[in-house]
Amino acid sequence: MAVVTWNRTAKRWEARLQRDGIRRRFYSDRPGIRGKQEVLQQIRDFENGLFPVTDRKVSEVWPEYLEDVRHRVSATNYQNRESDGRLYILPTMGNRFISEITLNDWQVLLNSVTGRDGRVLAAKTLSNIRSTISAFVRFCYRCGLVPSPELDLYIPKGHPTVGKVIMQPDQIRALFSDDFGDHYINAWRLMLLTGLRPGEALGLQWSDLQNGCLNVCRSINRAGELTDGKNENAHRTVPLSRTALEVLADQKERTAHFASPWIFCNIVGARTTQSSAAKALRRTVTAIGCPAVTMYSLRHTFVSILSATVPEAMLKKIVGHSQSMDTLGVYGHRVDGDENRIATALEFALAPLTAPDAPISSSSVSGEELPSERERASVTRLGAS
């Protein structure tokens, strides 16, 4: 049996063993007797043939891991895993032998990784890197390269949480007052009125519109693939307000000459992509004066405006969240006039609001009409029953 010693410099238990001419190293960064016992168990597994005889570097195994990922996830998720490895993991860990890497080594990577030009990464980016590391270690476990698939990594403090910039009422009015020459203008309007995810809105077909509701059952991801949606909660029926139905009627008229099955088809009537639609939105929101708004910001805007009057449980159903999802915590942002809206909601809690009768067109809307208010009125009536 090899001797297990405590390395004061590296602050970990270590042992070295040679078998059939091949030397192996065993480590544990857990202090105390439990860490020593972990190393001893690794040695016993190695001697009993439960631990791999050969050792491999991260850079050697990474392509095999990516190939496994390719067969299990969408192209978008694959691209995320590939970029996490190329940009953050391989530069630091690529030449390390997998058996030598401890939990603390992975944590040090998370603590020290930076973006281009040394910029601090957002907490969300670190969370994605942590997820990729954990998935890679689980793959190594399945390949018999590590003794355990479990990692307990934390996100270090001091990394910013990047929030979504939402549209304010005046900007929403502007979006409904002019089409800005934007082929996808009604997609943005519908997303503001329903809270659909970008891929869900662009994946809508006219057959999904039934009895004043939208049956959300597909999505177009960032890679241009047609999928079943983000998760099982994404499949849902979304009730449409009068304004939303008018937006769809206007869209039907705009695209009638295409005879396309897609509600928001591209400029030749075919299925669109998120990238091409996003370019159109950037031009439009820049013209309105809110250039930081993205397609997903429209979903955040919907939740933020409706949060004052619609119960969270109902919002979860509308936007396709699970009951455990913190919808308002993640998607709720301050909207100008929140205090007045809350006061109004309390005053009229027992009386349904009446939506304005004036129809919306693709070219103009009265300056006093706020689409979100009409949406709120319709949803409040649904909740009242």
Nearest to 255 by CA among 267, 246, 272, 245: 267
* Angle between the N-to-C axes of helices 371-384 and 169-177, in degrees from 0 to 180, rounded to the nearest 10: 100
Predicted confidence at residue 247, as pLDDT, reads: 93
Tell me what pLDDT residue 127 has. 92
Q: Assess whether pLDDT exceeds 70 at residue 78.
A: yes
Average confidence score pLDDT of the chain: 78
The yes-or-no verdict on residue 347 having pLDDT over 50 is no
E strand segments, 130-212: 209-210
pLDDT at site 311: 63
Write down the pLDDT at residue 315: 64
- pLDDT over 70 (residue 369): no
Is the pLDDT at 331 greater than 60? The verdict is no
Structure confidence at residue 326 (pLDDT): 42
CATH of 169-384, one of 3.40.50.720, 3.50.50.60, 1.10.443.10, 3.20.20.150: 1.10.443.10
Q: Same fold for the domain at 58-142 and the one at 169-384?
A: no
Please check whether residue 215 is in contact with residue 229, taking contact to mean a CB–CB distance below 8 angstroms.
Answer: no
58-142 CATH: 1.10.150.130
Q: Where are the domains of the chain?
A: 5-47, 58-142, 169-384
pLDDT over threshold 90, residue 299: no
Which stretch, 62-66, 211-215, 298-302, has highest mean pLDDT? 62-66
Strand partners, 236: 216
Please, which pLDDT band fits residue 38 given cuts at 50, 70 and 90?
Answer: confident
Q: What percent of the chain has pLDDT over 70?
A: 75
How many Å apart are CA 231 and CA 322, to the nearest integer? 10
| Distance separating the N- and C-terminal Cα atoms of the chain | 73
Q: Which of 47-51, 138-142, 223-227, 343-347 has the lowest mean pLDDT?
A: 343-347
Render 329-366 in DSSP notation, one character per residue.
HHH----TTHHHHHHHHHHTTTS------PPP-SS---
Average confidence (pLDDT) over 2-10: 84
Predicted pLDDT of residue 154: 92
Give the helix/strand (H/E) hosting 246: helix 242-254
Measured distance CA(300)–CA(169) in Å, rounded? 13
The pLDDT of 87-95, averaged and rounded, is 94
Q: Which residues of 48-78 are buried (b: 16+ CB within 10 A; e: fewer)?
A: eeebbeeeeebeebbeebbeebeeeeeeeeb
pLDDT at position 59 is: 95
Between 159 and 180, the higher pLDDT residue: 180
Lookup result for tokens 């695209």: 255
